[in-house]
Amino acid sequence: MRIASFVGQKGGVGKSTLARVLAVAAARAQHKVLIGDFDLEQLTCVEWSALRLRHGVEPEIEARAFKSLKKLRKTVVGYDLVVVDTRGLADELTEDVSRESDVVFLPTGTSMDDLRPTLALARKLAKTRSVGNKIVIVLSKTGRSERLLEQAEATIAEAGFDMLNAVWPARDGFQADLDMGRAGSESSNPHLKKASQDVEQALLSLTMS
């Protein structure tokens, strides 16, 4: 069983969105996937899974709430992939999850307000035994400015961290799809579908390799 976690120092950078995007990509590739939702205050992924069932979106993707990694390890069997969505706050659980994960995704926007805390968390996690080589920064909710994108990429490269070779763009339609239980390339909008495919494949390739 593979574990891919989405962690961050702050909310609003696309952790839950990208966790669902990866889960959908894995399920459509015939992997048995579970989302472990550790944000007990919001339970974004659990509620999205229920919406998916309500609207009859296939394939079904199970999401369960967990408050500890120990509980997940004791109860989860028979899955190819567990996608972990953590709270928008780095804490002891973040380090525990990162240690147990096969890949640790840190989504961030292109602004320094997002990059600074993300890279600070990446540096902290990199000091944790067996985590450093698992960290992948994901540029998320990016705008249309090539200059800002290039600056963010240069900042991440200078910090010495790996970066996903695709970016998740900011598009209003993605939220509308999530509100209907869909994610990523399940969008009915062909432009959104195309924008999703590179990110899905990049996430899935890193996770299942």
Q: Comparing 209 with 105, which gets the higher pLDDT?
A: 105
pLDDT at 63 (0 to 100): 97
Structure tokens that stand for 194 in this block: 């195309």
Does residue 12 have a pLDDT over 90?
no
Does residue 90 have a pLDDT over 90?
no
Alpha helices in 86-162 (DSSP H): 92-100, 112-126, 146-159
Q: What is the mean pLDDT of residues 181-190?
A: 92
CA neighbor of 37 nearest in space, from 105, 88, 111, 102 = 88
| Residue 183: HSE in the Cβ half-sphere, 13 Å Cα cutoff | 29
**What is the rounded distance in angstroms from the CA atom of residue 33 to the CA atom of residue 84?**
11
Q: What is the mean pLDDT of residues 33-61?
A: 96
pLDDT at 89 (0 to 100): 79
C-alpha of 162 from chain center: 15
**What is the rounded distance in angstroms from the CA atom of residue 106 to the CA atom of residue 119?**
9
Structure tokens that stand for 145 in this block: 């400015």
Write down the pTM of the prediction: 0.95
For 172, the enclosing helix (H) or strand (E) is helix 172-178
| Beta-carbon count within 10 A of 150 CB | 11
Domains annotated on the chain, with CATH: 2-199 (3.40.50.300)
pLDDT at 198 (0 to 100): 93
**What is the rounded distance in angstroms from the CA atom of residue 202 to the CA atom of residue 36?**
21
Q: Comparing 34 with 132, which gets the higher pLDDT?
A: 34
Does residue 151 have a pLDDT over 90?
yes
Does residue 138 have a pLDDT over 90?
yes
Does residue 130 have a pLDDT over 90?
no
pLDDT at 49 (0 to 100): 97
Q: What is the mean pLDDT of residues 88-112?
A: 92
- Name the pLDDT band for 6 (thresholds 50, 70, 90): very high
Structure tokens that stand for 97 in this block: 């999850």
Structure tokens that stand for 75 in this block: 């109860």
